[in-house]
Amino acid sequence: MQEEHPEEVEAREALNRAAVLLRIGALVLEREVDPGVVRAEAGAPDDVRHVEDARAFGLVATGPDGRVVAFREKPEEPVEGDVNAGTYVLEPRALAAWSGIGNVSIERRIFPSLIAAGRLVFGFVSGAYWLDLGTPETYLRAHFDILEGKVRGEPHSPAPFVADGAVIDLRAHLGRWVVVGAGARVRRAILDKNVRIPEGATIGYDLEQDKRLHHVTEKGIVVVEGARSSVDIAGIVI
């Protein structure tokens, strides 16, 4: 008989003691789930999200009271609907019948069996940030969203980024994803998105120099352009 890893033993014992919160690893979400929010017969509330295209997820059908009545296969055509968002609160009695039989899919076997047996499974629709990281495109999107502060509770880097020692005058405007290097000075200027100002550089202090490198308006405003054409990475324009 194969020896169990200590982590497996600890996980099984936790499942036998009390309600547990389970989340699929390939997700970015900001919702906090209270394991005490529901004490249903089956003890299996499910996090549900509404999406415009459910083909990648499959549909979750719920009644007026939020009770899940069916898990449906992934549709072939793009349709909107509620989908399983990969966050569960499970009571020990919801898993009792599956103890000791190896790997079991919650979505394909456990939940459908509970529903078919008339046990209570609830879906709670949330509008908080949620993103499945199942593709390179969504993985990239999640990084941009976190950096822009769209995901509550996640550390993010403010945009634009101004290094220590740089001086930005109040009359300067910095666009999206601008980076100003250490010791640089910027005044009476508009920095377009994606502009990088090197360490120690000056913008708006020597107009003759600025005119050789950038556009200067009649009122002496220096306009520093970023990439002349947008860069589209996996459908994300930056």
Domains located in the chain, CATH noted: 6-136 (3.90.550.10), 161-237 (2.160.10.10)
Average pLDDT over residues 103-131: 81
HSE, CB side, 13 Å, CA atoms: give it for residue 97.
Answer: 10
Three-class DSSP category at 133: coil
pLDDT of residue 112: 83
The answer to which of 20-34, 44-58, 140-154, 195-209 has the lowest mean pLDDT is: 20-34
pLDDT of residue 142: 86
> Which phi and psi angles does 44 have, rounded to 5°?
-135, 65
Q: What is the per-residue pLDDT across 153-175, written as a single tens digit (0 to 9) for each?
A: 776 665 688 999 999 998 899 98
CA dihedral sign of residues 127, 128, 133, 136: positive
pLDDT reading at 27 higher than 60 = yes
pLDDT of residue 181: 93
pLDDT of residue 14: 65
Q: Please tell me which of 31-35, 129-133, 228-232 the model is most confident about, judged by mean pLDDT.
A: 129-133
Average pLDDT over residues 12-36: 67
Q: What is the per-residue pLDDT across 82-92, written as a single tens digit (0 to 9) for each?
A: 888 777 877 77
pLDDT of residue 185: 96
Amino acid at 27: L
Q: Among 68, 85, 65, which residue's Cα sits nearest to residue 126?
A: 85
The answer to which of 157-161, 197-201, 209-213 has the lowest mean pLDDT is: 157-161
pLDDT of residue 57: 80
Q: What is the per-residue pLDDT across 176-186, written as a single tens digit (0 to 9) for each?
A: 888 899 999 99
Share of the chain above pLDDT 70, in %: 77
Q: For residues 195 and 200, what is the distance between their CA atoms, to the nearest angstrom?
A: 15
Whether the model pTM is above 0.75 = no
Q: For residues 27 and 154, what is the distance between their CA atoms, to the nearest angstrom?
A: 13
Selected residue with higher pLDDT from 44 and 31: 31
pLDDT reading at 145 higher than 80 = yes
pLDDT of residue 132: 85
Confidence of residue 36 (pLDDT cuts 50, 70, 90): very low
